[in-house]
Amino acid sequence: MLAYALILMIAAAQTDQTVEVRRGTRLEVHQFAGDVVVKVWNRDAVRVEAEHTDRQSVDIRPGDQSLVVRGRTQSGPSRSMDFTITVPAWMAVTIEGTAADVSLEGVGGDVTVETNRGDIRVRGGSGFISLKSVQGSIRLEQAKGRVDVQTVNDSIQIADVSGDVTAGTTNGSIVLERIDTSNLDAYTVNGTISFDGAIKDKGSYRVTTHNGEVSMALPEKVNATLRVRTYGGSFRSSFPVKLDDPDRRNRFTLTLGDGSARVELESFNGGIALRRPNEPRPLTGRERRDRDRQRQNGQPPPPAPPAPPSAAPAPAPNPNPNPGLQ
Amino acid sequence: MATVAVTLNADRRIATGVDSDVALAAQGDASAFERLYRAHVAKIHSLARRMLSPNEADEVTQDIFVRTWQKLGQFRGDAAFSTWLHRLAVNVIIERRRTYAVQRERISDDETALEQMAVAPARIDLAVDFEHAIEHLPAGAREILVLHDVEGYKHREIATLLDITSGTSKRQLHRARMLMRRQLGAA
Amino acid sequence: MTMHEEWTDKLSEYLDGELPDAERRQVTAHLETCEDCSRILEELREVVAAANAAPPVEPSRDLWAGIAERIASPEGARPVVLSGPWRRFSFSLPQLAAASVLLAMVSGWAAIRFMPREVSRPPDVAVAPPPAQTGEVVLTAFSSNDAGYDAAVADLERTLLEQRARLDPETIKVVEDNLAIIDRAVSDARQALDEDPGNGYLSDYLSETRRRKLDLLRRATSLAEDLN
């Protein structure tokens, strides 16, 4: 979980440089360890602030295509360094770091983030959005374009996003809310997946888990062919469904409306559950454990509870003058 | 998955005749390593326990010794083994606190955050012992108190270890001590 | 900050002998007239004394067995020094894209699903070149039969083992735990297929799950290689 609130405040920021940039330049940040926070402003310039010790320095190198920001340690092993970078909203951002928590707020271009141990939080993004972690969790909100989110040992949350979406993890849950897509591929091995979004005609939606439940919100009016497959799990629905073959409850096809969208829901050991969009989604494994632990110990609630679903989808901010990336 | 364990004799310059268990362990002798473990585990475990929490101490202690085994080839013998081990332990602990963001407190000059978090309401009037008292300190202040007052590091060294300035280290230490004096119920 | 805090804030440094001479003299003088500060100073002294005297705490149980097991496992492997940079087949992304079409045709595996989808974009959105470190991708020969898959996995596992020294133990553990999770899923699917051979769904699912394992291995090896 990323703590937005506390920013390292030593007496004075040790690097604070602002560089003018030409439209179309991309920001590239290379970091060994430490947090990276990216915010936006109206200027065609990039401001780099960094907290570090005097054995470290920040390399800011403007080039033709990109502005490269790199944390350097003069001697000894690499040390962590926290960055706060303010960029123009149009700027594409690439961040690469081993143990960096990354937080982007209000960005409006391509976003590429790759980290090993960091959590990634992005609000914004337009174009190609690729977020990768290994041990960290990923949350993406209010983005549009081609979205690819991958982690290994933690969860993914995506909300208020439009465009093609691929979300994958191995040991974590995936929560997808208010998604507007015609192409979805969500998969995990150990974890639940919950999807709530538009099911568009002729769209393709694939949701797969091995140990965990798949929960999908289906509106009343929808044109979709649902292929439900579970090997050891069960199927349930909060509203009546008419199965062609009532004896086969673990592998069946269900046609709704004209059946134009293709929806594939697979859970090997877990179950498949259908609900209506206004019904709350089931808790993820972690949320359930936290709740149980809280009940047992009477302890204070776990930090960073998931954002509650809002009543109506919030429109995504769109600094890009050419909307309609799909 | 392939389970090949590779042991390589890296370039080692260990003073012979001194710390022979270290030399043996560096060459792969697990019994020698066990003797080193037994000689140092209490100190390392205490460090882990105080810097992180009693819950994590056992696991982190094991991580530290496993990392020690892996890196023994890099020990040059130019300082005491115990110093080298201790420094490695501190590094492992610091890496670990970075990962567990839930328990992580940023070192900050925010006074209200510290004051609010520090006092355990049930214990205001009781004199509690040191181990319990430090558990109630916020993590950043606790680490510095442990490193400086328990382990004897200087502020300059702590600044390097924790990526802060000496000034912050001094301020945090002072705050930790001020909070502790209430916890310990000093007369 | 109150007037009085100006004094108490210096007491730790005073106690540790870290104040410059002039300030130290000022504090000493202040202490002679201020009961509160003198009391606080004594209390701070007691905190430091308690810390100095804190005895080592033995673990509540013997941890050696767990350590012995880990150092005997691959985790206990010490760094292998290779004589030169490890070279494998590596292709740039455009070459890989072309190769994957060829591969799909050769292996008969439905790789179509995993090829980059065409996305129409407005012309003035900057197209990002792939970041340098992920621009090189290892081409792993993949086929849908067991032998091809096993060979690909073995190749990546061997590389990862050799590169693992560059990864910290925590990452290694996470990668291995997750590979185990996938292995169990593969084994579930394989067992189910054994019991119900010719089941198209199961056989697809098995392929899918194996692909996940390859993806994870690739990601882990590229992580190790990125560190230099």
Residue B108, pLDDT score:
39
Residue A126, pLDDT score:
94
Q: Are residues C103 and C179 in the same domain?
A: yes
C180–chain A nearest CA distance, Å: 10
The mean-pLDDT minimum among A73-87, A94-108, B108-122 falls in B108-122
The token duo for A64 is: 């033709």
The token duo for A61 is: 């190198």
Contacts of C9 in chain B (CB under 8 A): 174
pLDDT bin (cut points 50, 70, 90) of residue B82 is: confident
Q: Are residues C17 and C100 in the same domain?
A: no
Mutation site for C-interface testing, chosen from B60, B66, B179 by largest number of C Cβ within 10 Å: B66
Q: Are residues C193 and C98 in the same domain?
A: yes
User: Are residues A27 and A87 in contact, defined by beta-carbon separation less than 8 angstroms?
Assistant: yes
Q: Give A 26-85 residues with CB within 8 A of chain C.
A: 26, 28, 65
Contacts of A24 in chain C (CB under 8 A): 126
Structural fold of domain B109-183: Arc Repressor Mutant, subunit A (1.10.10)
Residue A301, pLDDT score:
53
User: Are residues B45 and B59 in contact, defined by beta-carbon separation less than 8 angstroms?
Assistant: no
Integer Cα distance of C93 and C199 in angstroms: 35
In angstroms, the Cα distances linking A321 to A14, A90, A95, A317, C122 are 37, 10, 24, 11, 10
User: Are residues A99 and A118 in contact, defined by beta-carbon separation less than 8 angstroms?
Assistant: yes
ipTM of the complex: 0.76
pLDDT bin (cut points 50, 70, 90) of residue B100 is: low
The residues near A227 (Cβ < 8 Å, ≥ 6 apart) are A252, A253, A262, A263, A264, A265
What does the angle CA C99 – CA C102 – CA C106 come to, to the nearest 5 degrees? 135
pLDDT tens string C148-164: 677 777 888 887 777 77
Q: State which residues form the domain around C146.
A: 89-115+134-226
Q: Does A166 touch chain C (CB under 8 A)?
A: no
Integer Cα distance of C41 and C32 in angstroms: 12
User: Are residues A157 and A140 in contact, defined by beta-carbon separation less than 8 angstroms?
Assistant: yes
pLDDT tens string A185-202: 999 999 999 999 999 999
H helices of chain A, in order, are: 285-297
Residue A273, pLDDT score:
93
Long-range contacts of C171-175 (CB under 8 A, 24+ apart): C171/A116, C171/A117, C171/A134, C171/A135, C171/C220, C171/C223, C172/C75, C173/C75, C174/A134, C174/A135, C174/A152, C174/A153, C175/A134, C175/A152, C175/C216, C175/C220
Coil, strand or helix: which one is A92? strand
Q: Does C121 touch chain B (CB under 8 A)?
A: no
Residue A183, pLDDT score:
95
Q: Are residues C146 and C215 in the same domain?
A: yes
Q: Does B24 touch chain C (CB under 8 A)?
A: no
Residue C190, pLDDT score:
81
Q: Is the pLDDT of residue A317 over 50?
A: no
Q: Is the pLDDT of residue B151 over 60?
A: yes
State mean pLDDT over A172-189.
95
Residue C218, pLDDT score:
82
Name the residue ranges covered by the structural domains of chain B.
Answer: 20-102, 109-183
Which chain B residue lies closest to A52 (C-alpha atoms)? B163
% of chain B at pLDDT higher than 70:
70
The token duo for A65 is: 């295509």
Residue C142, pLDDT score:
36
Coil, strand or helix: which one is A221? coil
Q: Are residues C93 and C191 in the same domain?
A: yes
Residue B3, pLDDT score:
31
pLDDT bin (cut points 50, 70, 90) of residue A304 is: very low
In angstroms, the Cα distances linking A325 to A93, B147, C201 are 18, 54, 34
Contacts of C42 in chain B (CB under 8 A): 186
Q: Are residues C16 and C111 in the same domain?
A: no
CB contact under 8 A, B73 and C60: no
State mean pLDDT over C185-197.
80
The residue length of chain C stands at 228
State mean pLDDT over C43-49.
92
Q: Does A33 touch chain B (CB under 8 A)?
A: yes
Integer Cα distance of A325 and A309 in angstroms: 25
pLDDT bin (cut points 50, 70, 90) of residue B185 is: low
Integer Cα distance of A24 and A91 in angstroms: 7
Measured in degrees and rounded to the nearest 5, phi and psi for residue A5 equal -65, -50
User: Are residues A115 and A100 in contact, defined by beta-carbon separation less than 8 angstroms?
Assistant: yes
Q: Is residue C5 part of a domain?
A: no
Residue B161, pLDDT score:
78
pLDDT tens string C5-18: 889 999 999 999 99
Neighbours of chain A (3+ CB pairs under 8 A): B, C
pLDDT bin (cut points 50, 70, 90) of residue C203 is: confident
Q: Are residues C25 and C104 in the same domain?
A: no
Q: Does C42 touch chain B (CB under 8 A)?
A: yes
CB contact under 8 A, B8 and C72: no
User: Are residues A191 and A212 in contact, defined by beta-carbon separation less than 8 angstroms?
Assistant: yes
Interaxial angle between packed helices B155-162 and B166-183, expressed in degrees from 0 to 180 and rounded to the nearest 10? 100
User: Are residues A69 and A86 in contact, defined by beta-carbon separation less than 8 angstroms?
Assistant: no
Q: Which of A237, A206, A201 is nearest to A222 (CA)?
A: A201
Which chain B residue lies closest to C72 (C-alpha atoms)? B5
Contacts of B164 in chain A (CB under 8 A): 8, 10, 53
Q: Does A285 touch chain C (CB under 8 A)?
A: no
Q: Which of B175, B85, A93, B64 is nearest to C71 (CA)?
A: B64
Contacts of B165 in chain A (CB under 8 A): 10-11, 53
In angstroms, the Cα distances linking A274 to A165, A196, A254 are 20, 10, 12
Integer Cα distance of A312 and A143 in angstroms: 17
A2–chain B nearest CA distance, Å: 7
Domain count, chain C: 2
Burial classification of residue B152, based on how many CB atoms lie within 10 Å of its CB (0-12 exposed, 13-18 middle, 19 or more buried): exposed
Amino acid at A33: A
Mutation site for C-interface testing, chosen from B74, B154, B180 by largest number of C Cβ within 10 Å: B180
| Torsion of the alpha carbons at C75, C77, C78 and C81, rounded to the nearest 10 | -120
What CATH number labels B20-102? 1.10.1740.10
The end-to-end CA distance of chain C, in Å, is 47
Cα four-point dihedral sign A279, A281, A282, A288: negative
Integer Cα distance of A16 and A181 in angstroms: 40
Please report, for chain B, how many H helices and E strands are present, in that order.
9, 0
Contacts of B113 in chain A (CB under 8 A): 6
H helices of C61-123, in order, are: 64-72, 93-107
pLDDT bin (cut points 50, 70, 90) of residue A6 is: very low
The token duo for C75 is: 């985790």
Integer Cα distance of C2 and B111 in angstroms: 13
Residue A247, pLDDT score:
59
Cα four-point dihedral sign A125, A127, A133, A136: positive
In angstroms, the Cα distances linking A239 to A201, A218, A274, A276 are 21, 10, 8, 8
